[in-house]
Amino acid sequence: MDATQLFEQHHASLLRYLMRLTGDLDAAHDAAQEAFTRLVAKPPRDENPRAWLFAVATNVVRAGSNTNRRRAALLHAGAGRAPHADPLPSPEEGAMAESDRARVRAALAELPERERMMLLMREEGFSHREIAEAVGTTTGSVGTMLARALSLLAARLPLDEEA
């Protein structure tokens, strides 16, 4: 029996079971989807795929439940150690920051694709070797090319908004 037939035969009852098990329709849908994904990726060898689907879906729910329980325990136990977010910016600060982001995006858009790609990869933490492989150059030239790209970007970003 293929996955499509198994889905048509068992999805509704699996979803009902998972809904009753979790009490959460979204979690039930996620677990059912994961069970059928695993069915397609590695079909069971037994003669009873329905039992296999239900067992896999139940294990998916258990794993999610265990993860949620561990997260809650960690948050509760370490509430004093939990990192705190920066305070929200004022509306004026938020508008200014958005304006700055728009100026940087516009300046980046003006750069040649290769320079833009290199700068963005650098900001994502790529090594010079990884950047070199991605843009098709040598590792030794990446530093020079990044410096040139930064100069091009700086030329497109005036220091004050009147310029």
Q: How does pLDDT run across 73-118, given as a tens digit for each residue?
A: 777 776 566 566 777 888 888 888 888 888 888 898 899 888 988 9
Model-level pTM greater than 0.85? no
pLDDT-based confidence at 38, cuts 50/70/90? Answer: very high
CA distances from 37 to 6, 11, 91, 129, 156 (A): 12, 12, 45, 36, 48
pLDDT of residue 24: 87
Q: How does pLDDT run across 125-157, given as a tens digit for each residue?
A: 889 988 998 888 999 999 999 999 999 999 998
Q: How does pLDDT run across 4-22, given as a tens digit for each residue?
A: 888 999 999 999 989 888 8
Tokens representing residue 157 in the block: 């970003």
